[in-house]
A and B are shown apart, each in its own frame.
Chain A
Amino acid sequence: MKIRRLLFDVDKALARPSILEIAEAINNCSGVEAFHIAVQDVDTETLDLNVSIEGEDLQHDEIVSAIEHTGAVVHGLEQISAGNRTIEPLKRSR
């Protein structure tokens, strides 16, 4: 299965790792073409991040391992797009 897009819910402590360190770790993973990290929520000691990643053939396990090796925690996979092309999510009619 060719994974083309992933959206992760990532948490990290406020002090470290820095978002740049997480970005560098994702950038070094094979198959990653572009990604976006956005702060979703700020708690007293933690930062909740939305990490969107796109590529032709993303390696899910490698990316999770790279993010967690920086000291951040992947709390869940929120979205996945796979196949020969990327489709946008359809809205339910009801």
Chain B
Amino acid sequence: MKLGAVFVDPRHRLDVVAGIVDGILNGLILAAGKLLSGTGASWMLIIKVGAATGFTTFFVFFVAHYAQARTDLVRAERELNLMKHGKLATTRLGQQVLTESLIGATIASFCGLLGAFAPLFLGMVLPPLLGITITFLLLGGLGVVLAHTFYGSSWLWGGAIMAGGALLTYVGLHLDIVG
């Protein structure tokens, strides 16, 4: 499978969308204070926030994916009437779920890094308020794409994710974490 195809594979949709949204929200909550206070972002800030987002997203997604996959294996053991627990994890399925969890976490981490990059870069090259507004629109766009994939309401999903972004920006502005 080509590298680009991994990102459009429906099996990794959650990792891609959640990774980007998580990255944008992380970027906003960590750096909103710095962006909107007037001092703006720097390349060093972008790298620091991007790295923090990338590592935490990798860890969180790996643990979540792997725990879910191992739980699925335990359920399958029960359905297959296996007496010994943990048996399926010693088969090829164990390696498979580990590899899949690592791939999913890597995709989410990369998307998280890109997501965190967006608001900070836009805030650096554009007037901060315009950069943040474009970031909100980006979040809304992601919500619309997400709604299309499961035939949900585009307005509801787009609006809800944008509202979440605005809320976290407000919180980030007051916390002023990297200020």
A41 CB to nearest chain B CB (Å): 13
**Count of interface residues, chain B, beta-carbon cutoff 8 Å:** 12
Contact with B along A25-45 (1 / 0, CB 8 A): 000000000000000000101
Q: Please tell me if A11 contacts chain B, counting CB pairs below 8 Å.
A: yes
**Count of interface residues, chain A, beta-carbon cutoff 8 Å:** 15
Segment at the interface with B among A1-9, A52-60, A64-72, A77-85? A64-72
Complex CA–CA separation, A8 to B4 (angstroms)? 41
A2 CB to nearest chain B CB (Å): 29
**In the complex the two chains form, is A17's CB within 8 Å of B92's CB?**
yes
**In the complex the two chains form, is A71's CB within 8 Å of B93's CB?**
yes
Residues of chain B within 8 A of A69, CB atoms compared: 91-92
Residue in A11, A13, A16, A46 whose CB lies within 8 Å of B96: A16
16 A-B contacts, Cβ less than 8 Å apart?
Answer: A11-B81, A13-B76, A15-B72, A16-B96, A17-B93, A21-B92, A45-B75, A45-B76, A45-B79, A46-B79, A69-B91, A70-B93, A71-B88, A71-B91, A71-B93, A73-B82
**In the complex the two chains form, is A68's CB within 8 Å of B91's CB?**
yes
**In the complex the two chains form, is B79's CB within 8 Å of A70's CB?**
no
B: which residues have CB within 8 A of A? 72, 75-76, 79-82, 88, 91-93, 96
**In the complex the two chains form, is A16's CB within 8 Å of B80's CB?**
no
Complex CA–CA separation, A11 to B87 (angstroms)? 14
Residues of chain A within 8 A of B91, CB atoms compared: 68-71
Residue in B72, B79, B82, B92 whose CB lies within 8 Å of A43: B79
A93 CB to nearest chain B CB (Å): 37
Residue of A nearest to B91 (CB): A71
Query: Given A21-B92, A45-B75, A71-B76, 12 more contacts at CB 8 Å?
Result: A12-B80, A13-B76, A15-B72, A15-B76, A16-B93, A45-B76, A46-B79, A46-B80, A69-B92, A70-B91, A70-B92, A71-B92
